[in-house]
Amino acid sequence: MRQWDPRLSLRIYKRLAPAGQFRIAPPALLAAGFLALIFVGALLLWLPISVHKPVSFLNSLFSATSAVTITGLSTVDIGNTYTVFGQAVLATLVQLGGLGFVTFSIVAILTLGKRISLQHQALAQEAFNQTNVSMVRHIAAAILKITLFAEAIGIVLFTLRWWHDTTLTNALGRAIFHTVAAFNNAGLMISSTQLTQYQHDAFIILLTSVLVIVGGLGFSVIDDVRSKKSWKALSPYSRVAIITTLGLNLTGFALIWLFERHNPATLGNLSWTDQGLAAWFQAVTTRTAGFNSVDIGGLTDSTTLLMMLLMFIGGGSLGLAGGIKIGTFVVLMAAAYAYVFQRPQVVLAGRAVPDDAVQKALALLLITVTLVFVATLVLTVTESAPFLSIAFEVISAISTTGLTRGITADLSVWGRLFIIMLMFIGRLGPLTLIYSLSIKRRGLIRYPESVFQVG
């Protein structure tokens, strides 16, 4: 029997694709990969070996989606519901969902010394949000190096800390789960009390904060810092991402402390040092890690609205955070500034921002806001929870944050299905989803321009 030559598949693809007989857009293939991972994970979590007590397939699907999309929302108590095997499945789903199956496949191909096919290059460009194919190899390898290094440090340090309270095996298991969740900005916790029991423990709070910031900043920025080692040598985007991250974290820290300092349900009964620690942690993890060291349901309305904004903005591009991304937020602010003050160009860090980037930022903002509005409207019909809690849940899901005001476990079947959809959309990105559902066509017709009133 003739042995199958893998190169034949590539030749078939190259022949069929131009003829229109075999066309799969990279975003669609990426979405299909995540869907497959979610359903495999849901089936594994549904097995008797994964749970202490039977759970519905919908709950398993919800947990798998939350893990793969690195969100952190859960309809069940993870520690009391899932066995060690089930928790291992969740941690694996978080890791695969966070880094993405594309990273592993690209690195695997490079390890074997094979060239990346055009199809793989297109898929990797879509996943990494890169237009330069030559950067795909470098970034894929950098992602794994940074991840392994950061998670190894986190696991060792958390194990040493928790070893004082339990056995080495339990400490190691908790450290692995927590480190993977923190670095991937997932927000999943084995403990039902999240990190509220450690709000006085500066070591755990600050180490978790560092892992969250590193994971959410963006791999391209971290690699840039690692290779350049000089502020002036950094790319304009890296400088903007670092400054904006620092600004958002410090602003959130100050405002949360100001709004909650007299609230007995959150910071009111803590010492001023513990108040500062809790305010800092909540400001950092709100963008979009999903951990909490205070009762989210007990926050004032002012803090809740602020956290909704921070969740909506999210973290850096090519990172493990969600939201509309820092780059989108900064480009929109720069575009508004340029228009208001009649500047001829949109400028950031001494560089002009391309019109295409401004249009993409505006489209992403409009699509995300529309999804938030529609989802909130639907859930106000299907659920009986307060409006603010529903709006908070929607933004938390679509930004893949994972914070909740306590309504996740009480969602109806339709509510859970809708949140599952929002988490999936939020992980892929609204623009990617819209692109995957349509076929890009080049128009040959040009229409005459006209004046449309705006504002």
Q: Tokens 């400088």 label which residue?
A: 239
Q: Per mean pLDDT, which range of 110-114, 262-266, 302-306 is the poorest? A: 110-114
φ/ψ of 190, rounded to 5, equals -70, -35
Task: Report domain extents, the chain.
Answer: 26-436
Q: Tokens 């305010």 label which residue?
A: 279
Dump pLDDT digits (tens) for 243-285: 999 999 999 999 999 999 999 999 999 999 999 999 999 999 9
Structure tokens at 28: 């669609």
Average pLDDT over all residues of the chain: 85
Cβ atoms of 136 and 125 closer than 8 Å? yes
Using alpha carbons, select from 340, 267, 251 the residue that is nearest to residue 300: 267
Q: What is the pLDDT of residue 19?
A: 45
Identify the band that residue 32 occupies on the pLDDT scale cut at 50, 70 and 90.
confident
Q: What is the pLDDT of residue 108?
A: 56
Q: In this predicted model, which residue has the larger pLDDT, 397 or 230? A: 397
Cβ atoms of 208 and 177 closer than 8 Å? no
- Stated pTM of the model: 0.86
Torsion of CA 140, 180, 127, 432, to 10 degrees: -170
DSSP per position, 328-372:
HHHHHHHHHHHHHTT-SS-EETTEEPPHHHHHHHHHHHHHHHHHH
On the CB side of 313, CA atoms within 13 Å amount to: 25
**Is the pLDDT assigned to residue 16 strictly greater than 70?**
no
**Is the pLDDT assigned to residue 3 strictly greater than 50?**
no
Cβ atoms of 157 and 149 closer than 8 Å? no
Q: In this predicted model, which residue has the larger pLDDT, 46 or 17? A: 46
Neighbouring C-beta atoms of residue 183, cutoff 10 Å: 29
Q: What is the pLDDT of residue 122?
A: 67
Identify the band that residue 218 occupies on the pLDDT scale cut at 50, 70 and 90.
confident
Dump pLDDT digits (tens) for 393-412: 999 999 999 999 999 999 99
